[in-house]
A and B are shown apart, each in its own frame.
Chain A
């Protein structure tokens, strides 16, 4: 079922739009139809259930744009410029669950900024403050700013000295309740030993070329025809990595405990940062730079309008279909259901590189329909 949202009063809409206009940038006219395959490559197959898919007889499948970020990134990469700032306003489309009456077609206003930032904390604060100002213009008096940073967790793991393969698994499970706890539990457990470790040692000692030749021989001897898009080097690389982690010390109980405590931190931002600093000190890990950046970020955001009392930092905070890898945020109201933020955004430095561009990106968007209280 297709449902539109109630129209926002033009004066109110202009007030919500004003901070975005002040931010400036090139007005982006993104096509309503976006290539389905690119959207799914960026956000994952789970997004498909949320998309309106359109197909003509000739062309590849397209989807009604669920947001503007990918379109903005593509436009920027296409421009060939090192940095760029884009502003957009238009309808986006997201399918609702069966039986839900959430609007499937809604207005969205946002900005995206590409390029390596001269001052990352300042740029982050500018974008978060812009979203706050716009949300405030919507007229709700009960806004809260939720903050998080998956990058901080990844730095924490690195500072702890967690083996890279483990750290990656933990990072991936980060946003999934249950999965993360399971993963953490697994990394405490003693993995298989003895059997297979001779091969493991050989794999590690062998040069890459020797290891690949070994795999080719295994294939040949067992009559396996290699198919699928992974190279022998990739397969052998993973086997070697796994062999390596089998020989390496796993997460100690103390380390697993530190990781678990880190992911439970939630509350007043400065208090959370202090707690992170205490954990890092306990672990003998150096997180000073990251924490210092965050303190400055918070000061800057507070300096441009959002009161500290409205801010909350959650170490475990992630956004659905997120490609965020640094600061991320949502502006929420207790009047709205969980999972329906008024505005949101964050840093997604690695995404442009995946689409063929240079790293460095941040953006935010607001849904004016949510920013305005019903009946006003």
Chain B
């Protein structure tokens, strides 16, 4: 692929409203960036302080999924549930660069609690068939997630059902008599329960969370890729910073200390002068090993960032773009 040139900015689509917007801003702020909206609070464009060469578009989460799919933005933050709903071979058009750990929600199949004979998708298969035979109509599934519903039901061999468009509150459809089943996003199941619905034991279609994703349908200039590399290196450095801690021992005890932490070095801990970088989860094990070897005092600090020379995610993207 030839490299497009020019100085067009890297376009990043971020959520314009709701809880996801707050979470994305909190995440970027934590990384050391700052979303600065242009044209006041309600503007739909913004810049990121600390990331020159990038331009932010504020869109709804669903529009972000669409923009990534259709190649209208380079990057976007949105839920995997919405991306997967774009259908077909999504991975040919969009690459997930990083799961962000927030915006968690499950896409689930829920049935009325009063159906005490129904627990699994296999029960649904049975019931759907009996319903068709009795009424001549198919069991109705209210959802906004047509594509994933269809795929999931097909995987379970269920054919005797119908999807009905849900306008507004999907989970209210059974109570309103508009559907028998619901496929919807839930984080706790509380709303479903409040509507007298239960999640089927094997009814989780997708465990979704927010992702930073790149559009493969977009053309990328070298400058845009460089801006992405800068963004990713900070994002990953911040995540590693939170995950790692730096141990430092007296330089005259280096030989004993290195022996004591040897097995952690084998497991991916990083050696540094008179010290080591280890996962926080391993900290107490490592310090115990050092204590047992008579090494001390050992100081521990938590780094703000741990920058790496390479980003595996950026490498993956470059490879897909043929660069």
Chain A residues within CB distance 8 Å of chain B: 37, 40-41, 44-46, 48-49, 98, 168-169, 172-173, 176, 179, 215, 218-219, 222, 224-230, 234-235, 238-239, 242, 353-356
Contact = CB atoms under 8 A, between A and B. Distances in A.
Nearest to A47: B159
A40 B162 contact: yes
Given A45-B159, A172-B129, A238-B126, A229 B116 contact: no
Interface in B94-132: 111-117, 125-127, 129-132
Given A45-B150, A49-B150, A238-B127, 6 more contacts: A45-B163, A46-B150, A173-B157, A176-B157, A224-B196, A228-B181
Given A49-B150, A230-B180, A224 B114 contact: yes
Interface residues of B, number: 43
A227 B126 CA distance: 18
6 contacts: A44-B159, A49-B150, A98-B88, A225-B175, A227-B112, A238-B127
Greatest chain B CB density within 10 A among A44, A234, A353 is at A44
B15 to A, nearest CB: 29
A238 B163 contact: no
Interface in B171-189: 174-175, 177, 179-181
A227 B138 contact: no
A43 to B, nearest CB: 9
A227 B195 contact: yes
B136 interface: yes
Most chain A CB within 10 A, of B112, B114, B125, is at B114
B161 A45 contact: yes
B141 to A, nearest CB: 8
Interface string B207-238: 00000000000000000000000000000000
A218 B180 contact: no
A227 B162 contact: no
Contacts of B180: 228-230
Contacts of B157: 172-173, 176, 179
A333 B272 CA distance: 71
Contacts, number: 95
Contact of B174 (A44, A227, A354): A227
Contacts of A355: 136
A230 to B, nearest CB: 6
Nearest to A240: B117
B153 interface: yes
A45 B196 contact: no
Interface of A, secondary structure class, is helix
Interface string B152-175: 011001011111000000000011
A179 to B, nearest CB: 5
A222 B198 CA distance: 13
Contacts of A219: 114
In the complex, which of the residues A45, A98, A169 has the most CB atoms of chain B within 10 Å of its own CB atom? A45
Contact of A172 (B116, B125, B127): B125
A48 B150 contact: yes
Contacts of A215: 116
A46 B128 CA distance: 14
Contacts of A230: 112, 115, 127, 131, 180
Interface in B271-295: none
Nearest to B161: A45
Given A168-B129, A218-B116, A228 B163 contact: no
B19 interface: no
Contacts of B163: 45, 48
B117 A238 contact: yes
Nearest to B89: A98
Contact of B138 (A40, A222, A238): A40
Nearest to A43: B159
Given A172-B129, A235-B117, A242-B117, A44 B196 contact: no
Contacts of A45: 138, 141, 150, 153, 159, 161-163
B125 to A, nearest CB: 7
B138 A41 contact: yes
A187 B150 CA distance: 27
Nearest to B88: A98
Given A45-B162, A98-B88, A228 B134 contact: no
Nearest to B176: A227
Contacts of A176: 157
B152 to A, nearest CB: 11
Contacts of B129: 168, 172
Contact of A46 (B130, B132, B159): B159
B150 A228 contact: no
Contacts of A172: 125, 129, 157
B130 A238 contact: yes
A228 B125 contact: no
A224 B138 contact: no
A228 B112 contact: yes
B197 interface: yes
A26 to B, nearest CB: 25
